[in-house]
Amino acid sequence: MEALTYKIEAYEGPLDVLLSLIRKNEINIYDIPIAELLRQFIEHIDVMRRENLEVSSEFLTMAATLVQIKSAMLLPKHEEDAEDPRAELVNLLLEYERYKLAAGNFREHESGVYRFVREPVKMEIDYTYTRSHNVSELREAYFSISTAVVRKREHKAFSESISRTVLRKTTSIASKIYAILRGLARKTRVTLLSLVGRDNVRGDAVAVFFAALQLARAGRVHIENDGAALALTMTKDSRKKLKHKMK
């Protein structure tokens, strides 16, 4: 058999390569020269490697199978009717060729010439609820819905409570101390209520109260109660210091 010269093509597997070698060399598939076929198959693997193509384990397994068949053919035969070691390979190649031809026929008809599709049928939808339920099923469904509604309300209330706590504006005592002194610099008397913000937040009122206590402890202000509201007036020493700074 003459040496085969070929270029790398897209093969689907080792059987595809063997079948291509057999057809191109016009080999009788029932009398395959295993040695020459093995040589060309290995050359094909070497070309794939030189072309940086990935050689899968299937190609290496097929090469080992060919070596095994050739080894079995070299063994002495004790019976004239002994099975040919190439028989299984021949059956595989013939079966693969049949499937390959069938696949080619399918590809020829991919245009849809022989494809028939039924026209869509318009169906009337009946929305009538026909299932019947016993009392226990209805009771379980009711309690399930009721529980879900209660849990949803509790979750919403909890989320709103967390949001109010997290997003609540905090007021520092230092800022209220500054506000009290700034108010007393303009007026002689300031009520605690006037120092609380418009939102009348509890934290704001607490900050004003503690700021007034700290200033009173430091001798900066006097806390007075005129019966209507608590008021703050600046002590004489503080007013003298303030006038001195203003000069």
The confidence band for 221, taking pLDDT boundaries of 50, 70 and 90, is confident
Task: Answer whether residue 144 is part of any domain.
Answer: no
Task: Answer whether residue 145 is part of any domain.
Answer: no
pLDDT at 1: 45
Residues 99 and 184 in one domain: no
Residues 98 and 181 in one domain: no
Task: Answer whether residue 122 is part of any domain.
Answer: no
Task: Answer whether residue 124 is part of any domain.
Answer: no
The mean pLDDT value of the chain amounts to 76
Residue-range definition of the domain harbouring residue 35: 14-75+83-108
pLDDT, tens digit, for every residue of 75-128?
777 665 567 788 888 888 888 888 888 777 776 665 555 566 778 888 888 888
Check whether 204 has a pLDDT greater than 80.
no
Residue where a domain stops, chosen among 62, 91, 108: 108
Task: Answer whether residue 132 is part of any domain.
Answer: no
Among 103, 70, 63, CA closest to 84:
70
Task: Answer whether residue 148 is part of any domain.
Answer: no
The confidence band for 6, taking pLDDT boundaries of 50, 70 and 90, is very low
Residue where a domain stops, chosen among 92, 108, 124: 108
The rounded Cα 219 to chain-centroid distance in angstroms is: 65
Question: What total of structural domains would you count in the chain?
Answer: 2
Task: Answer whether residue 158 is part of any domain.
Answer: no
Task: Answer whether residue 238 is part of any domain.
Answer: yes
Q: What's the CA dihedral at 230, 235, 239, 242 to 10 degrees?
A: -80
The Cα–Cα gap between 100 and 92 comes to 12
